Structure 1
Amino acid sequence: MTAFTETPPEAAGAPAPVAAARSAGGGLGTYLLVRFLLIFPTVLILVTMVFFLMRITGDPITAALGGRLPADQLEARIHEAGYDRPILLQYAEYLGQVFTGNFGRTISDNRAVTEMLTTYGTATLELALNSVLVALAIGIPLGMLAAHRRDKGPDAVLRVTAILFYATPVFFAGLLLKLVFSVWLGWLPVNGRASTSTELALNGLAAPSGIYWLDALRSGNLPAFWDVAEHAVLPALALGLLTAGVFLRLVRTNLIGTLGRDYVEAARSRGVGEFRLVARHAYKPALIPIITVMGLQIALLLGGAVLTETTFEWKGLGFQLAQYLTARDFVAVQGIVVLLAVIVAVTNFVVDVVAALIDPRVRY
């Protein structure tokens, strides 16, 4: 009697590189460790690029205060800050400060950069969260509808809509939304994160998080919550529609591919309705590509936040970045860019973790 060991289908059908990785001990732990370690060189490269690019026009003191201070006072400020030392020595000292969480002080308003990042970072986080919710709420259902009505009228309209969402500049979308919903219809506020009274009430709370809608809910202040929500609608739409266009096309393309799989055809042959096929059988596999590109979209959202916050006077990191660039305050600009780089790198790592847990193929 010949004994045999049944080989699991997934192992039998695994490509040679996958099988080799498994036999070599590759797996989730190794994959996540490598992805985590890649955060550090990524951030280091970005920090280095920003540092030296900021020095192309000279030292930060001269760039920010040149022409506004007498020459002797300017030289004293430069010497006090250490910007007259060799550039490599400045770079090494700056890296040491960054790794200890010390980003220095802003030149234009003499604030600790870490305090500035903490104050305005929560506003940008709130805008990014609102925009992601808008992108998911619009992009995924419309992508499912486009796949369900493939090559028909609704599909063609939605594909054009996705292109318009993605191609429209954020500042133009923001100005258009303000013109329609604030100026013509008068439904929503024009600028800001909340009305003055609401801001005073929320900032006066004990240990506020800085995310206005969360603080309003924690304090049970429903009028403040609705006021914050009204102010958040247009900025979130202006920035969220950009990503919604990407999600719409991704969901449509991958859902169409999933609907052609054998298990879906088998369900169709058993008489399962087309809508149920989309909603129950093909929906989840089609979401995997969205998860994998979420990190890139976070970077896109943070880049768009500069224009969105400036358009709506949403006082977050993007708004402050524009102000500090105008003032040529390169110390503040360096701090903001470094923080954004860390956020993007960490977000990409989290996305990789989620993608690896959902789809084992990415581990190899």
Structure 2
Amino acid sequence: MSAVDLTPRPGTPVPGVPRAKSKGGGFSRYLLVRFLLIFPTIFILVTMVFFLMRLTGDPITAAQGGRLSPEELDALREAAGYNRPILVQFLEYLGQIVVLDFGTTLTTGRPVVEVLATYGPATFELVFYALIVAFAVGIPLGLRAAANRDRPEDAIYRVLAIFWYAIPVFFAGLLLKLVFSVWLKWLPIAGRADVDSEIQMQLLPFRTGFYTIDAIRTGNPEVVVDVLSHAVLPAIALGLLTAGIFLRLVRTNVIGTLSTDYVDAARSRGVAEGRLLRKHAYRPALIPIITVIGLQIALLLSGAVLTETTFEWRGLGFQMAEFLENRDYVAVQGIVALLAVIVAVTNFLVDILAAFIDPRVRY
């Protein structure tokens, strides 16, 4: 009887051995699918905002109603095309967005693109600092909570996580201003910089709109300190919202990792708990943080509206609040469209990063 060849053929799955991710065409297909998902995401958000805004009537009537006569309103509506069927207006608006034409604000007459370029850097800078706060607070406390599982310290951290996530951003901002600006007088109460710092940055030949970068370019350490001190309280108020989510994610995943067989084997060999936490549980716990960053960017951008209003931080959120108050729905549509693009692209980049670092992702 001839011997039977039991050697598995290439590509044959072996029980108990996880299959490797396919390369080449598999990853290219995964990349293409994720990229194509950007467009329906933007389309859905833009569509919802467009039709929700139209529920109150056309933008001209909403912004100028009561200030102009009916004849003047009719003339403006006809000139802007708002007397045409709603579907025609929507299709035209989509065509404008494709060529990055977001219209003109009704209250100031400025192109919406100019508004986005002027106030966008302030919002992005605030979100960046808020993410730093979320990482610096949520990840270490999540590790501490996991290391002290089922102890009073763990319970305190979990309550803090719920409290940070549940407290309204504007209320947290008011409390921070009351304590650190009014009572202790440690930090500025509002704004992005003092008048003297603003003047020095305005003297630059070219301004980026990112105050941290512009302050460094002035070469004056006092301007840098002033700009950073103004960013502390808004960043904390907004960052704690996400820090609570990061804390609970890290705690849950670290506890799960510490219960795995390979960690039990290392523990039986006498490896200290602190080394187990740092060497075996820390990196796996960061994977879910990376995969939810895209969602947290959306959360931070939505929270920026209240944060910027509370601290008079003149970014897109602050401007959107003013446009809503003045019923300038053309400007609001443009800002929301930009934020939709940012969130969709961020989620795309996070999905690609997660595909490289998370072995559970299959493509």
TM-score category of the 2 structures, normalised to the smaller one: over 0.9
> In the TM superposition, what is the alpha-carbon distance from 1:224 to its structure 2 partner?
1.0
> In the TM superposition, what is the alpha-carbon distance from 1:65 to its structure 2 partner?
0.5
SS state of the match for residue 360, structure 2?
Answer: helix
CA separation of 1:13/1:348 partners in 2, compared to 1, >3 Å: closer, same or farther? farther
Alpha-carbon separation, structure 1, partners of 2:339 and 2:173: 22
Alpha-carbon separation, structure 2, partners of 1:220 and 1:10: 63
SS state of the match for residue 27, structure 1?
Answer: helix
Alpha-carbon separation, structure 1, partners of 2:16 and 2:205: 56
- The equivalent of 2:312 in structure 1 is 313
CA separation of 1:7/1:191 partners in 2, compared to 1, >3 Å: closer, same or farther? farther
- Structure 2: give runs of 5+ residues left out of the alignment: none
1:164 paired with 2:166, answer no
- The equivalent of 1:260 in structure 2 is 259
Q: C-alpha deviations, 1:307-345, integer Å up to 9, x for none?
A: 000000000111111100000000000001101111111
CA separation of 1:133/1:10 partners in 2, compared to 1, >3 Å: closer, same or farther? farther
SS state of the match for residue 363, structure 1?
Answer: coil
**TM-score of the pair, normalised by structure 1:** 0.94
Q: C-alpha deviations, 1:68-114, integer Å up to 9, x for none?
A: 11222222111111111121111111111110011111000111100
- The equivalent of 1:294 in structure 2 is 293
Write the mapping of 1:147-226 to structure 2, written as runs, cut at 5 A. 147-226=146-225
SS state of the match for residue 12, structure 1?
Answer: coil
Question: Which moves more between the two structures, 206-215 or 351-360?
Answer: 206-215
Write the mapping of 1:69-218 to structure 2, written as runs, cut at 5 A. 69-218=68-217
Alpha-carbon separation, structure 2, partners of 1:10 and 1:277: 35
Alpha-carbon separation, structure 2, partners of 1:319 and 1:229: 19
Contact 1:28–1:363, Cα closer than 8 Å, also in 2: no
Contact 2:139–2:250, Cα closer than 8 Å, also in 1: yes
Q: C-alpha deviations, 1:41-74, integer Å up to 9, x for none?
A: 1111111111111111111011000111122222
Alpha-carbon separation, structure 2, partners of 1:214 and 1:80: 42
Write the mapping of 1:21-40 to structure 2, written as runs, cut at 5 A. 27-40=26-39
Contact 2:200–2:218, Cα closer than 8 Å, also in 1: no
- The equivalent of 1:12 in structure 2 is 14
> In the TM superposition, what is the alpha-carbon distance from 1:13 to its structure 2 partner?
4.6
Alpha-carbon separation, structure 1, partners of 2:123 and 2:187: 20
Question: Which moves more between the two structures, 285-294 or 69-78?
Answer: 69-78
Structure 2 residue identity aligned to 1:109? T
> In the TM superposition, what is the alpha-carbon distance from 1:280 to its structure 2 partner?
1.6
Write the mapping of 1:209-358 to structure 2, written as runs, cut at 5 A. 209-358=208-357
Alpha-carbon separation, structure 1, partners of 2:86 and 2:111: 23
Q: C-alpha deviations, 1:160-195, integer Å up to 9, x for none?
A: 111111111101100000000000100000001111
CA separation of 1:141/1:6 partners in 2, compared to 1, >3 Å: closer, same or farther? farther
Contact 2:187–2:230, Cα closer than 8 Å, also in 1: yes
Contact 2:102–2:111, Cα closer than 8 Å, also in 1: yes
The two structures, once aligned, show a CA RMSD in angstroms of 2.2
- The equivalent of 2:358 in structure 1 is 359
CA separation of 1:7/1:87 partners in 2, compared to 1, >3 Å: closer, same or farther? same
SS state of the match for residue 108, structure 1?
Answer: coil
Alpha-carbon separation, structure 2, partners of 1:27 and 1:284: 26
CA separation of 1:277/1:96 partners in 2, compared to 1, >3 Å: closer, same or farther? same
Structure 2 residue identity aligned to 1:113? V
> In the TM superposition, what is the alpha-carbon distance from 1:10 to its structure 2 partner?
11
Following TM superposition, the consecutive aligned residue runs of length 4 or more in structure 1 with deviations greater than 3 angstroms are: 1-11, 13-16
Contact 1:239–1:304, Cα closer than 8 Å, also in 2: yes
Structure 2 residue identity aligned to 1:133? I
> In the TM superposition, what is the alpha-carbon distance from 1:304 to its structure 2 partner?
0.6
Alpha-carbon separation, structure 1, partners of 2:92 and 2:350: 33
SS state of the match for residue 362, structure 1?
Answer: coil
> In the TM superposition, what is the alpha-carbon distance from 1:275 to its structure 2 partner?
1.0
Structure 1 residue identity aligned to 2:343? V
**TM-score of the pair, normalised by structure 2:** 0.94
Alpha-carbon separation, structure 2, partners of 1:204 and 1:218: 11
- Structure 1: give runs of 5+ residues left out of the alignment: none
Q: C-alpha deviations, 1:187-213, integer Å up to 9, x for none?
A: 000001111221222233233221111
> In the TM superposition, what is the alpha-carbon distance from 1:266 to its structure 2 partner?
2.1
Alpha-carbon separation, structure 1, partners of 2:340 and 2:333: 10
Alpha-carbon separation, structure 2, partners of 1:66 and 1:50: 21
